[in-house]
Amino acid sequence: MDRDVADADSGGSSGSAEYTFDDVSVVMGTYNEEAAIGTVLDDVERVTGGRAEVVCVDGSSDRTPEIAREKGAHVVEQKPQGYGVAVREALLTPDRPVVVTTDCDDTYPMEQLPEFLDWINAGHDVVSGDRLYWGAEAMPDLNRWGNYAFAGLASLLMGELVHDTTTGMRAYRRDVIEDIDWTENTGLSAELLIRPLMRGYDVREIPIEYDERAGETKLNPFTGGFAIAKSIVTVCLEERRRRTSEPQARRRRR
């Protein structure tokens, strides 16, 4: 799979009409993130000149949704049912042609949004932020080693090298999101990388910075880690079976 360390300018241009931030929705699940949401939404506003739409699917019992609305986000209320249930709803709510996911915990670099958009404009279907490229020192050791293991497991089962399967920051062309049925909850982030890759969409990983989390984690590293590993195995095996039964579906876009 493509992996590139070039800066934002190197995303280049596809030659045809390019997407701008007017075409971008930044979406996230939010669950009691009042320590971070103000900063995250201010960063999106500053970096995109207020042009990207923001969608929060919220299950909070704190002030998160009020802060989000004050900052101009579109807030969808949903009772808390896990990461993937919220993020799937967040991905499917807007109708702009480019959708970017992030966590609402101030870990992901909104400063790199222009770079993600450049790579989409260069013709990639999915642009995935690789937190491990620069070492992810801010990540707890257990999570970091777990993430190396998830990437190794997924690479082995896919037969293609990936470096960060559970990152929360990616950009997608909308048709990728709409063309695939998403089934996973805690493991949705891995599924969002694996299914497009195994169906031949053009997926690129780019290195991203990763900061320490603001506020409390919503992920239990043991039960969550087990759920993610199970999703990786399930999704890879399903996609391998799909390739065997529908060989024409392979390499759809390349």
* Nearby residues of 162 by Cβ (< 8 Å), 6 or more positions away: 1, 151, 154, 155, 193, 197, 205
Which of Mg ion, ligand GTP, none interacts with 146 (beta carbon under 5 to 8 A by kind)?
Answer: none
Closest to ligand GTP by CB, 169 vs 197, is: 169
Site for ligand GTP in 142-201 (CB under 6 A): 143, 168
The answer to whether 156 and 83 are in contact (CB under 8 A) is no
Distance CA 101, CA 57 (A): 12
Distance CA 34, CA 40 (A): 10
Closest to ligand GTP by CB, 33 vs 202, is: 33
Q: What is the contact mask toward ligand GTP in residues 53 to 92, using x (rule: CB under 6 A)?
A: ----xxx------------------x-xxxx--x------
Tally DSSP H helices, then E strands, for the chain: 8, 8
Site for Mg ion in 87-126 (CB under 5 A): 103, 105
When binding is defined by CB under 6 A, the residue of 53, 103, 106, 164 that contacts ligand GTP is 103
Closest to ligand GTP by CB, 1 vs 219, is: 219
Closest to ligand GTP by CB, 104 vs 158, is: 104
Distance CA 169, CA 28 (A): 10
Which of ligand GTP, Mg ion, none interacts with 94 (beta carbon under 5 to 8 A by kind)?
Answer: none
Size, binding site for Mg ion by CB under 5 A: 2
- Please give the biggest Cα pair distance in the chain: 50
